[in-house]
Structure 1
Amino acid sequence: MDRGTVGSAQSGRLLVEVREEGASAVVTPVGELDHDTADLLREPLEDCLSRGFSRLVVDCSRLEFCDSTGLNVLLGARLKAEAAGGGVHLAGMQSVVARVFQITGADTVFTVHDTLASALADEDG
C-alpha cells in the first residue's frame, strides 16, 4: 500500500523521488547518475536505511545514464542494506544502464527485476 511520497532531491540533471510502498522504500532516480549527481542518490538511500528500511527498491525505469560513481553509490547502499538484514533491488533498467551493470558484473550481486511491480511483489526476496 502506497503511503505517499517521503521526499525528493533534485539538481539540473537528476531528480530522486522516495516513497514508502509496503515494507519497501522505493527510490526513483530520474535523469543522469554520475560523479556530479551521485550525492543526490546517496543521501536519500542512506536516509531510508537510517529510518529503518532495510529493503530498498530502486526504480531505474527513468534513469537515462549511470557511470561508475553511480554504480558505487548503489553498491555501497547494498552493503549497508544487507548488513541490516535486507537488500537493494533494481527494477526496470533501461538497456543503456543495464549494460553498465553487465559489463562490470554488478548485475550478479543485485536482485534485478524487469519491472517495479515485480520487485514489489517479491518482498521476500
Structure 2
Amino acid sequence: MDRGTVGSANMGRLQVEVRSEGPSAVVTPVGELDHHTAELLREPLEQCLADGLARLVIDCARLDFCDSTGLNVLLGARLKAEAAGGGVHLAGMQPVVARVFEITGADAVFTVHDTLDQALATD
C-alpha cells in the first residue's frame, strides 16, 4: 500500500478528465480516489460548478477505488450542484466502488446509472 506523502508522488494515482456534453459536465476520475487524491477531483468539480455547469455526470467506469474521503467529495459536489439547480449522476460504477456506496447508503442519495449513455440521456 502506498503510504507516500500528499503531493506529486500521489498525483499519478488519480487522473481526472473533464468535458462538456450538452448541458452536462462529464467528469471521469481514473484510478484511486482516497484521502491522498481527493483534491484532484474536488477542484475540477468545483470549477465545473463555477463555470455554470450544475449537472455533473461522474463516469466511474475507470475508478478503481473510493474511500470515505472520496465519497465526501462527491457528496459535497452533490449539495452544491443541487443548490445551483442541478445534480450529480454517477455512471458505470465498478462493483468494488458500488459496494462502498451500498454500505454507506450513499447510493440512495445519488442518481446512479449503469452506463454513461444512460446518465447523459436522463434529465
TM-score above 0.5, yes or no: yes
Which residue matches 1:7?
none
Which residue matches 2:63?
63
RMSD of the TM alignment (CA)? 0.9
Which residue matches 1:35?
35
Q: CA-to-partner distance for each residue in 1:36-67, whole Å, 9 max, x for gaps?
A: 00000000000000000010000000000000
Letter matched to residue 31 of structure 1: G
Letter matched to residue 89 of structure 1: H
Task: List runs of 5+ in structure 1 lacking aligned partners.
Answer: 1-9
Q: CA-to-partner distance for each residue in 1:39-97, whole Å, 9 max, x for gaps?
A: 00000000000000010000000000000000000000000000001000000000000
1:14 and 2:14 equivalent? Answer: yes
- Post-superposition, which runs of at least 4 consecutive aligned residues in structure 1 deviate over 3 A? none
The TM-score normalised by the length of structure 1 is 0.90
Supply the distance in 2 between the matched residues of 1:74 and 1:52 (Cα, whole angstroms): 18
SS at 1:112 equivalent: strand
1:114 and 2:102 equivalent? Answer: no
Identify, as 1 or 2, the structure richer in strand.
Answer: 1
Supply the distance in 1 between the matched residues of 2:94 and 2:12 (Cα, whole angstroms): 21
Larger-Rg structure:
2
Task: List runs of 5+ in structure 2 lacking aligned partners.
Answer: 1-9
SS at 1:36 equivalent: coil
Q: Could you tell me the percent identity over the aligned residues?
A: 82
SS at 1:46 equivalent: helix
Q: CA-to-partner distance for each residue in 1:3-40, whole Å, 9 max, x for gaps?
A: xxxxxxx9110000000001100000000000000000
